[in-house]
């Protein structure tokens, strides 16, 4: 009987080991492809649209009706209106917001740039719509969101409005509205803008889903 060389078994195992390694690598890549990030599981549920469109979420609708850039903003709610100059540029977003299921008492208001950078609402103005503004069910509230943004950071901004009444932003209703402006709109004279207090209009029809 001819003895088998000592290295023969090892040479036969090498292709098998290579095949097993290859299978493991492919399996890992497949799992990574289908793995869902935590923020996608528990983050806000976003509905998207553009300036002039009614963007409907499960809990509210929002329509951006006007977008302005200004160097100064004057709040007319005060007995002696105060004019505030921007450290950059003021972005004023006129909008109509309607709660569709139940009253909304807390929101997160942000301006998101193309690169994902976000800017919170300005807290300078009493008349601006803020995160504490209440929105009644089926009654549109018209007003203005105000943001202060460095001039060199204005890049295709979108309004982000997130309902945070129930446990923060986890699976919250969120609207993202493209404002349709960019850095080119900074050119030229911007002047000033005046703010009026938000107004809820009784009896006005809405585009809220049934």
Share of the chain above pLDDT 70, in %: 74
**What are the residues facing 84 on neighbouring strands?**
73
In the three-class reduction of DSSP (H, G, I as helix; E, B as strand; rest coil), residue 191 is classed as coil
Helices then strands, counting H and E runs in the chain, come out as 2, 11
Q: How many CB atoms lie within 10 A of CB 144?
A: 22
- Which residue's entry shows tokens 């609708």? 61
37 compared with 54, residue with greater pLDDT = 54
Confidence class for position 184, pLDDT limits 50, 70, 90: confident
Query: Does the structure show a pLDDT above 90 at 91?
Result: yes
Average confidence (pLDDT) over 175-186? 92
pTM here? 0.76
Say what percent of the chain tops pLDDT 90.
60
Q: What are the backbone dihedrals phi and psi of residue 8, each rounded to the nearest 5 degrees, phi first?
A: -65, -45
When pLDDT is averaged across residues 176-197 and rounded to a whole number, the result is 90
Higher model confidence: residue 105 or residue 169?
105
Do residues 93 and 125 lie in contact, with contact meaning Cβ atoms separated by under 8 Å?
A: no
What pLDDT shows up at residue 209? 44
Q: What is the pLDDT of residue 105?
A: 92
Answer with the residue of higher pLDDT: 141 or 12.
141
pLDDT at 57: 97
Q: Could you tell me how far CA 162 lies from the centroid of its own chain? A: 7
- Short-list 141, 124, 153, 149, CA closest to 63: 141
- As a whole number of angstroms, the distance between CA 70 and CA 95 comes to 17
Adjacent-strand bridge partners of 29: none
d(CA 185, CA 163): 30
Q: What is the CA radius of gyration of the chain?
A: 27
> Which of 25-39, 87-101, 138-152 has the weakest average pLDDT?
25-39
**Average pLDDT of span 124-146:** 94
Question: Are the C-beta atoms of 178 and 156 separated by less than 8 Å?
Answer: yes
> Over 70: is that where the pLDDT of 134 sits?
yes
The mean pLDDT of the chain is: 84
Residue 13 has a pLDDT of: 58
Cβ atoms of 96 and 129 closer than 8 Å: no
Average the pLDDT over 151-157 and give the result: 95
Tell me if 94 sits within 8 A of 64, measured CB to CB.
Answer: yes
State residue 36's pLDDT score: 45
The CATH number of the domain covering residues in 44-200: 2.60.40.1240
Locate the domains of the chain by residue range: 44-200
Tokens 């001819």: give the residue: 2
Are 92 and 64 spatial neighbours (Cβ–Cβ below 8 Å)? no
* Reported confidence tier of residue 81, pLDDT bands at 50, 70, 90: confident
């Amino acid at each position: 009987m001819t003895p088998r060389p000592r290295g023969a078994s090892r040479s036969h195992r090498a292709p098998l080991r290579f095949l097993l390694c290859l299978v493991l690598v492919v399996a890992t890549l497949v799992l990574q492809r289908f793995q869902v990030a935590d923020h996608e599981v528990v983050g806000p549920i976003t509905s998207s649209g553009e300036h002039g469109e009614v963007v409907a979420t499960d809990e509210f609708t929002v329509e951006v009706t006007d977008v302005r850039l200004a160097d100064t903003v004057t709040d007319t709610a005060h007995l002696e209106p105060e004019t505030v100059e921007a450290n950059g540029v003021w972005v004023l977003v006129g909008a109509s917001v309607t709660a569709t299921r139940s009253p909304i008492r807390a929101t997160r208001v942000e301006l998101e740039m193309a690169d994902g950078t976000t800017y919170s609402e300005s807290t300078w103005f009493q008349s601006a719509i803020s995160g504490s503004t209440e929105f009644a069910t089926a009654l549109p509230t018209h007003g203005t969101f105000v943001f202060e943004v460095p001039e060199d950071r204005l890049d295709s901004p979108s309004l982000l409005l997130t309902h945070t009444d129930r446990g923060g932003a986890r699976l919250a209703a969120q609207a993202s509205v493209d404002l349709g402006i960019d850095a080119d709109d900074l050119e030229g004279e911007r002047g000033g803008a005046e703010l009026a207090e938000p107004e809820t209009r009784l009896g006005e029809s809405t585009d809220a889903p049934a």
